[in-house]
Amino acid sequence: MKYLYEALDKPTRLYIKQCPHCGLKYFGMSTKSNIKRYYGSGVKWRRHLEKHDVKPIHLWNSDWYYDKSISRFALKFSRINRIVESSEWANLVEEDGLTGGNKLTDDIIQKILSKVDQKKKGTKISETKNSKKWKSTKGKIIDQKRKDTVNSAEWKETIGKESIEKQLKTKSDPIWWETVGKPSRQESRKNTDYSKVGKSVSKKKNDPEWRAKNFKTCPHCEWYGDPGNYAKHHGDNCKKTVEQD
């Protein structure tokens, strides 16, 4: 069965661009002949490039499409790579290969505006707390209340006492080390049989079959031994080779 697609107004290609600053990518469509020089469309993508003042890297482009079959591939690629949800892509809408990335719905516009408002609010709060006026008025009062609370007898007997007990349980605390850490280490050393440590390695190297397979002979000085020492001091690194050179 053959499927017929409606012809496009202009031949179109799909492309992938990447930001050299952070690796952010953009998937889009274009009718331009010189697609490698084309920066790409999309509101978020263009703002990102302007913010970092960079030229995008051209990663890939498709062959020319002459009918609307382009939409099948474009939408499939968009959904498999989750170009709208993923932080690796700058697309705000799925690319269909027909309408481009600039046509935003009302929902998407509202999301963008809400994110911008949240960033502005966060900036205002940080600017307020860092201002001299705030530090000399509200900030000063808050700091004083905090000091009064920490220095009060009630706080020391309740929250302060609990925090000190927690600190004693941490490994970085000297008291913890002297009371818990050091004794536990000494106890573990008493229970360790050091006569068995390293025996498995030496037993392996003393095995004739293992030696026959792994031990090497230096062609320059006829030294015979394990491959670790051979690589460090023999073969191309043999003293006799260096002296001859």
Give the C-alpha separation, 168 to 175, whole Å. Answer: 6
pLDDT at position 100 over 70: no
Contact indicator for 39, 46 with CB cutoff of 8 Å: yes
Residue 120 within any structural domain of the chain: no
Where is pLDDT greater, at 173 or 80?
Answer: 80
In this structure, are 209 and 172 located in the same domain? no
Residue 115 within any structural domain of the chain: no
pLDDT at position 201 over 60: no
pLDDT at position 70 over 70: yes
Give mean pLDDT, residues 201-227: 77
Q: What distances in angstroms separate CA 51 from CA 5, 17, 39, 157, one per listed residue?
A: 40, 16, 14, 53
What confidence score (pLDDT) does residue 55 get? 94
Give the C-alpha separation, 204 to 193, whole Å. Answer: 19
Residue 112 within any structural domain of the chain: no
pLDDT at position 116 over 70: no
pLDDT tens column, 140-153: 777 776 777 767 77
Select from 113, 104, 116, 101 the least CA-distant residue to 39. Answer: 101
In this structure, are 30 and 57 located in the same domain? yes
Q: How many domains does the chain have?
A: 3
When pLDDT is cut at 50, 70 and 90, the band that residue 58 belongs to is: very high
What confidence score (pLDDT) does residue 5 get? 85
In this structure, are 26 and 89 located in the same domain? yes
pLDDT at position 80 over 90: yes
Give the C-alpha separation, 88 to 25, whole Å. Answer: 6
In this structure, are 96 and 174 located in the same domain? no
pLDDT at position 164 over 80: no
What confidence score (pLDDT) does residue 168 get? 64
What confidence score (pLDDT) does residue 8 get? 93
In this structure, are 97 and 154 located in the same domain? no
In this structure, are 29 and 87 located in the same domain? yes
Task: Please give the mean pLDDT across all residues of the chain.
Answer: 79
Residue 110 within any structural domain of the chain: no
Give mean pLDDT, residues 87-100: 90
What confidence score (pLDDT) does residue 213 get? 81
In this structure, are 178 and 213 located in the same domain? no
Ranges 41-45, 109-113, 121-125, most confident: 41-45
Give mean pLDDT, residues 206-235: 81
What confidence score (pLDDT) does residue 1 get? 44
pLDDT at position 10 over 50: yes
Where is pLDDT greater, at 152 or 11?
Answer: 11
Residue 52 within any structural domain of the chain: yes
In this structure, are 183 and 150 located in the same domain? yes
Residue 220 within any structural domain of the chain: yes
In this structure, are 29 and 58 located in the same domain? yes
Specify the pTM. 0.45
Q: What is the DSSP string of the chain?
A: -----PEEEEEEEEEEEE-TTT--EEEEEE--S-TTT-----HHHHHHHHHHT-PPEEEEE---EEETTHHHHHHHHHHHTTTTT-TTB--SS---SSS-S----HHHHHHHHHHHHHHHHHHHHHHHHHSHHHHHTHHHHHHHHHHHHHHSHHHIIIIIHHHHHHHHTSTTSHHHIIIIIHHHHHHHHHT--TTSTTHHHHHHHT-HHHHHHH-EE-TTT--EE-HHHHHHHSGGG-HHHHHH-
pLDDT at position 179 over 70: yes
Residue 134 within any structural domain of the chain: no
In this structure, are 11 and 77 located in the same domain? yes
In this structure, are 229 and 175 located in the same domain? no
Where is pLDDT greater, at 65 or 184?
Answer: 65
pLDDT at position 209 over 90: no
pLDDT at position 228 over 70: yes
Residue 94 within any structural domain of the chain: yes
What confidence score (pLDDT) does residue 202 get? 59
Residue 63 belongs to domain spanning: 7-102
In this structure, are 52 and 88 located in the same domain? yes
